[in-house]
Amino acid sequence: MLSLSIAPYFARFPTGWKWLLAYFLWTPVYALTLRRLSAEPTSDVRGFYLGMTVPLWITVQGSAAVGAAFSARVPTGPELEFVVPLAFVALLVNFLTDRATEDAALVGGVLAVLAGGVPLGLGVVVATIGGTVAGVLVAAREVEA
């Protein structure tokens, strides 16, 4: 889904660059890049994207190594894993710019809850498609009205 939605912005780069950029397609990087593009459509996508991903990649590798070495000693009590959804809350709020995007998020979120039992994370895919369709429908209705 992320790949599809960022594809138009990467279309003009040569294949080698596309492959490199695709390797770094993480959700937070994706979200911040699209926010930047909506604010400044003419900005240097590749520079902005790599400027985030390269330091992030180094941090991720280092953190993964630390986690692999010490994970057994981290207490599970304080629910530190809840940081991840909170970070996505912060990203999500940025993209709620009008009624249609709000409805896209609402429908996507509710569908994801309902599709929680679907294997391989496919529930998220179904939910995203449902939310996107909802956004398109609401936007079309707003144009008519």
Partner 1 sequence: MTGSSLDSGVVWLVILVLGTGTFVLRLSFIQLYAWLDAFPPRLERALGFIPAAVPAALVFPALFPVGGSVVDTLVNPHAAAGGLAAVVAHRTGSMTATIAVGMGALWSVRFLFG
Residue 29 interacts with partner 1 (CB under 8 A)?
no
Q: How far is the CB of 62 from partner 1 (least distance, A)?
A: 18
Calculate the CA 93 to chain-centre distance. Answer: 12
Contact pick of 61, 109, 122, 141 for partner 1 (by CB under 8 A): 109
Q: Which backbone phi and psi does 26 adopt, to 5 degrees?
A: -100, 150
Tokens 């911040």, located at residue? 32
Answer whether 132's CB lies under 8 Å from 143's CB: no
Residue 18 interacts with partner 1 (CB under 8 A)?
yes
Nearer to partner 1, 65 or 87 (CB): 87
Residue 106 interacts with partner 1 (CB under 8 A)?
yes
Q: How far is the CB of 106 from partner 1 (least distance, A)?
A: 7
Residue 19 interacts with partner 1 (CB under 8 A)?
yes
Answer whether 142's CB lies under 8 Å from 100's CB: yes
Nearer to partner 1, 48 or 101 (CB): 101
Residue 52 interacts with partner 1 (CB under 8 A)?
no
Measured distance between the N- and C-terminal CA atoms of the chain, rounded to whole angstroms: 30
Residue 57 interacts with partner 1 (CB under 8 A)?
no
In single-letter form, the type of residue at position 57 comes to W
Interface size with partner 1, residues (CB under 8 A): 67
Residue 89 interacts with partner 1 (CB under 8 A)?
yes
What is the rounded (10 degree) CA torsion for 13, 4, 90, 24? Answer: -50
